[in-house]
Amino acid sequence: MKLLKSIITIGILLTSITNYGQFTDQINSNRPGKSMGAFAVGKKIYQVESGLYYINESNEVPNYDARGFGLDFAARGGFIKEQLEFVLEAQFQLDKYSVTDSINKNRNGLKQTTFGAKYLFYDPFKKAPAKPNIYSWKANHKMSWKQFIPAISGYVGINYVMKNDYSIPNESAISPKVMLVTQHHFGVKWVLVSNIIADKITSNNANFGSVFTLTRAISEKWAAFIENKAIKGNYYSDGIFTIGATHLLKNNIQIDASISKNIKSTPSLLYGGIGFSWRFDKKHKDIQMKDGKEVKDKKEDKNKKTKGSLSQEELDKEKAKAEKKSRKNKPDAAQEKPTQETKKKRLDDIEETPAP
């Protein structure tokens, strides 16, 4: 009996989740990894993701060492449609740069600034999942090939590079960035996110790469992940591995910690940090879905029609109708005057009539 209740409960929960838009009860954050998830934050949702990190960078040729701190920042917002998201990303760093005993200087500046938009083209969870089989435990726990179908998004952005201590020689100030994003959900605990990236493709420092992030839910509040980032470019190529964990403080607040190490010695990188993600969702309204399509709220449409959505021609017609109705209800002045005179005459007649 307990098994039957559990199956029915899970089925109801899954149906309630997939019958609405991309909005979820819990925050959907890209931190602390470097990959970008396929799903948008949702319409009228605004999210901030930020963190502090420590970096230790050294190189054999040329022989230098750099140690310092940095700040990662990302602002995400959903506009127009549930599937559309705009993203602003920036990275600020300050460190001490040393070349043997000849150069020692303090550096600071923006290392990266990117603004772009992401759109979800395919969502495998739009349609309600198959109903649970209340008669067979085996049927409910067998592998489903549908879970290998990912959510698919596309991203287009613009890089802006300032001339400072971190800029690459002869680097273009503005360059495009495009990305293909996929996201697999294997059961309820495992998520695989992959990004295929083409960055600065119109500049001399174009690079191509990929990011794969595998996340496992440990409990309702905790999750751990491992990530690999590969970069192949004219100026810089590398492979970076990251491990980390996240903790859900509230449904709209998440904290995280991570540590990363690359595979090269030219340069050698070691960095780690902590961060948080915060979501503002008070203005969000659930978007109901039916058969994979958005269902509009009839009450909302009716309110829109009565609150300023009429055209100027329709407003003029409504005004003319109101004036006509007002004139119809108001008595004619020509008719009103004789009536008053008649009443006055009758009063005079009464006063002149002698008493018996």
Consecutive H or E run containing 15 = helix 2-18
Separation of alpha carbons 297 and 290, rounded Å: 12
**8 A C-beta contact, residue 83 and residue 40:** yes
First to last CA, the chain: 103
More confident residue, 269 or 288: 269
- What is the pLDDT at residue 321? 78
Which range among 218-227, 258-267, 325-334 shows the weakest confidence by mean pLDDT?
Answer: 325-334
Q: Considering only the top CATH level, what class is 21-124+137-284?
A: mainly beta
Structure tokens at 57: 């960078």
Q: Phi and psi dihedrals of 8, rounded to 5?
A: -65, -40
| Domain-wise residue ranges, the chain | 21-124+137-284
Size (the chain), residues? 356
Consecutive H or E run containing 326 = helix 312-329
Separation of alpha carbons 69 and 56, rounded Å: 9
Place of tokens 């054999």: 60
Q: Which DSSP string do the residues of 116-183 spell out, in sequence order?
A: EEEEEEE-TTSSPPPPP-TT-HHHHHS--GGGGSPEEEEEEEEEE--SSTTPPTT--SEEEEEEEEEE
Q: Across the strands, what pairs with 85? A: 78, 118
Angle 109-115-121 from CA coordinates, rounded to 5°: 150
**Closest C-alpha to 230, from 32, 31, 35, 29:** 35
- Model confidence over 226-236: pLDDT tens digits? 999 999 998 88
> Residue 153 half-sphere exposure, CB side, CA atoms within 13 Å?
27
- Model confidence over 171-213: pLDDT tens digits? 888 999 999 999 998 888 899 999 999 999 888 889 999 999 9
Q: Phi and psi dihedrals of 313, rounded to 5?
A: -65, -40
Q: Phi and psi dihedrals of 346, rounded to 5?
A: -65, -40
Q: Across the strands, what pairs with 258? A: 244, 273
Separation of alpha carbons 7 and 10, rounded Å: 5
pTM recorded for the entire structure:
0.71
